[in-house]
Amino acid sequence: MKKCITAALLLAAMLFCGCRAEPEPALQETGEDAFAAAFLATGAQLEEMRLIAWSLKEARFMTAAELKSEAERIAASLGLQDLNEKKEDESGWRSYSLQGVNGRGNFQVLLQALPGETYIMVSVAAKSGIEDFSNLCRELLEAAGGKKAAELRFLLVGSFPGKLSRDDLAGRFSAAFAAAGAQTVEQAQGSNYFSVTGHLPGVTRHLLSGQKKVNLQMAGDFSETEQKTFIYLGSPLIFDDY
């Protein structure tokens, strides 16, 4: 499987780098079921799900002991095993992280503290099946502070054997948008990529591209090495740090 998104697809994402976040209502509607339906409508074989949820944990500089205790609590709630810890404690900066696994994927729980603020981030790279996607979204949001506080972004990676034509990709993306009830906002294409960006109404998480709301991006490219066409479904966009 591809370990990273190709430069062409990153270029497609960068076309929307002028997007900015809007203040969100107190409670997010994350639309995880609609995004799962969109992926299923493409007919792709799931390769991997990558999710990250984060929030402001405390408006203070938490101690090293508090970071460790909170990370261990979250790891236990997720049923993580084979834990590996990493910690840093310097003047004006400290962090504590645990990496572990369960039957669903590889998780990381990270707390980072600065004077006046401490953040929590929970991420996973999972291959447990698209039917587990909605549960993973809810569980990561809860682990990171709950829907009121936490934010979420994700990337679903799928594949098809061989090289799909541009028209085939466009048809599959159109079916995905229809299944989710999403509206197309912009398209971008080049010799090595095809990307569609849109908005799923009812999902409070979004960015602004000019005056247009966006919270869904799909892209596809062909891997000569693996002889597969890979598709990517990201929200709010496909970014290089997934």
Q: What Rg do the C-alpha atoms of the chain give, in angstroms? A: 18
Tell me if 78 is assigned to some domain. no
Quickly count: other Cβ atoms within 10 Å of residue 51's Cβ.
25
The encoded tokens of residue 48 equal 């991997």
Q: What is the mean pLDDT of the chain?
A: 86
Q: What is the pLDDT of residues 69-90, one digit of tens each?
A: 999 999 999 999 999 999 999 9
* pTM for this model (two decimals): 0.85
Highest mean pLDDT among 3-7, 106-110, 193-197: 106-110
Highest mean pLDDT among 17-31, 190-204, 219-233: 219-233
Q: What percent of the chain has a predicted confidence (pLDDT) above 70?
A: 86
**Alpha carbon distances (Å) from 215 to 20, 60, 100, 111:** 11, 31, 30, 26
pLDDT class of 57 with cuts at 50, 70, 90: very high
Mean pLDDT on 100-123:
96
Domain residue limits at 158: 7-51+154-235
Q: What is the pLDDT of residues 5-43, one digit of tens each?
A: 443 434 344 344 445 444 443 334 568 899 999 999 999
Candidate from 60-69, 132-141, 201-210 with smallest mean pLDDT:
201-210
102: pLDDT strictly greater than 70: yes
Tell me if 87 is assigned to some domain. no
Tell me if 179 is assigned to some domain. yes
Tell me if 164 is assigned to some domain. yes
pLDDT for the residue 210: 81
Mean pLDDT on 133-146:
92
More confident call, 147 vs 129: 129
pLDDT for the residue 190: 78
DSSP for 172-221, please give it: HHHHHHHHHT-EEEEEEE-SS-EEEEEE-TT----EEETTEEE-EEEEEE
Q: Measured between alpha carbons, how far is 72 from 69 in angstroms, rounded to an integer?
A: 5
Domain total of the chain = 1
Tell me if 205 is assigned to some domain. yes
Q: What percent of the chain has a predicted confidence (pLDDT) above 90?
A: 69
Tell me if 105 is assigned to some domain. no
pLDDT class of 1 with cuts at 50, 70, 90: very low
Tell me if 137 is assigned to some domain. no
Tell me if 134 is assigned to some domain. no
Mean pLDDT on 129-144:
94
pLDDT for the residue 147: 66
